[in-house]
Amino acid sequence: MSGFSADWLALREPFDLRARNPTVLAAVAGLFEHQHSVRVIDLACGTGSTLRALSPRLPPRQSWILVDNDPDLLARAAAMPTSQDVSVTAVARDLSDDLEPALGGAVDLVATSALLDLVSEAWLHRVAIAVTARAIPFYAALSYDGRVAFSPPDPFDAAVVGAVNLHQRTDKGFGAALGPASADLALTRFAALGYAVAQGAADWQIGPEDRDMQTALVDGWARAARDIGTQSGQDITDWLARRRAAIAAGRSSLLVGHVDFFAVPSATR
Ligand SMILES: C[S@@+](CC[C@H](N)C(=O)[O-])C[C@H]1O[C@@H](n2cnc3c(N)ncnc32)[C@H](O)[C@@H]1O
């Protein structure tokens, strides 16, 4: 198991879908608009959120390879209903080891979402080398960038977010994670390897009515802050109680910062 439950991925998917940067999505769609078919590989697919977001914007005939190391999530992805022109092949792989073999087949696009903040600098370098060596376009959505804005603000918010961002850098199975630094580093790396990069913000906007999402987030952030141990447990407990009270009262909104980008070999743009 990966630690990402299907319930959590289902809860976040509508926020991801609304957040995906439209300019970046248009750039992906534009590259393939004159093709009749397209072959896509989705790295760390979860239950298939990237396919659901991207498929309506791509040529009608699509073949998708969905890769993840979590058999439960992968089974759900493989079972998703698609149109008869969209074929889905689910592949179980641990991408921390098996990245290069996973990218070995013929594809027109490598896609991923909510993955790059989990990976190490060395792994990011590996994926950039593997993709650019074959001149394949790369779409990476929803990399967390470290920004969280609470409304109304609380004096302890910054301490919790600071601890969360330290937790983001801990090992998530790929070595020390890049966390909030991942998107900037990826953009720089792809540009240095001769790719043109379109990028944009893809922030979650979470309103007062989105109580389940807000509660899941503040609970998770309190756990992460306790794990990191830079703040007192009582301060974190008190902060969580204030945040939960504001959510229950319908007075709380959240913004969580993410970055999307699309990188293509310079000659193709
Ligand atoms: C935050 S979820 C994102 C899932 C999906 N891309 C989405 O946007 O809903 C991260 C995904 O990475 C997968 N993952 C984590 N470590 C992995 C590894 N070593 N190999 C393959 N997949 C991995 C998890 O199983 C999970 O599906």
pLDDT tens digits, residue range 107-139?
Answer: 999 999 999 999 999 999 999 999 999 999 999
| Closest residue by CA, ligand 1 atom 8 | 113
**pLDDT tens-digit map of 184-235:** 999 999 999 999 999 999 999 999 999 999 999 999 999 999 999 999 999 9
Confidence of residue 148 (pLDDT cuts 50, 70, 90): very high
Asked whether the predicted pLDDT for residue 153 surpasses 50, the reply is yes
Question: What's residue 207's pLDDT?
Answer: 98
Residue 45 tokens, joined: 């697919």
Question: CA–CA distance from 55 to each of 13, 75, 243, 265 (Å)?
Answer: 15, 19, 37, 22
- 18 CA from centroid of ligand 1 (Å): 20
The pick from 69, 217, 256 for probing ligand 1's pocket by mutation, whose C-beta has the most ligand atoms within 8 angstroms, reads 69
Residues 6+ apart with CB under 8 A from 25: 53, 54, 57, 260
pLDDT digits (tens, 9 = 90+) for 3-35: 799 999 999 999 999 999 999 999 999 999 999
Work out the mean pLDDT of the chain and round it to a whole number: 97
Within 8 A by CB and 6+ apart from 103, the residues are: 41, 110, 127, 130, 131, 134, 136
Per the CB < 8 A criterion, the answer to whether 76 and 52 are in contact is no
Q: SS3 of 175, please?
A: coil
The CB of 72 under 6 Å from ligand 1? The reply is: no
List 204's β-bridge partners, or say none: 256
- Residues 124, 236 contacting (CB under 8 angstroms): no
Q: Is any ligand 1 atom within 6 A of the Cβ of residue 203?
A: no
Q: What is the pLDDT of residue 267?
A: 72
Could you give the CA distance from residue 38 to residue 32 in angstroms, rounded to a whole number? Answer: 7
pLDDT of residue 99: 97
Distance of CA 4 from the midpoint of ligand 1 (Å): 7
Phi and psi torsions of 35, nearest 5°: -95, 155
What whole-number distance in Å separates Cα of residue 260 and Cα of residue 269? 18
Instruction: Assess whether the C-beta atom of 144 lies below 6 angstroms from ligand 1.
Output: no
| Tokens standing for residue 35 | 């093709």
Mutate which of 50, 70, 119 to test ligand 1's pocket (most atoms within 8 Å of Cβ)? 70
Cα separation, 64 vs 109, whole angstroms: 10
Query: In the prediction, which pLDDT does 268 show?
Result: 58
Please check the confidence at residue 160 and state whether its pLDDT lies above 90.
Answer: yes
pLDDT class for 1, splitting at 50, 70, 90? very low
pTM given for the model: 0.97
Please work out whether the CB of residue 43 comes within 6 Å of at least one atom of ligand 1. Answer: no
Distance 116 CA to ligand 1 centre (A): 10
Q: Higher pLDDT residue, 44 or 268?
A: 44
Tell me the C-alpha distance between 168 and 185, whole Å: 15
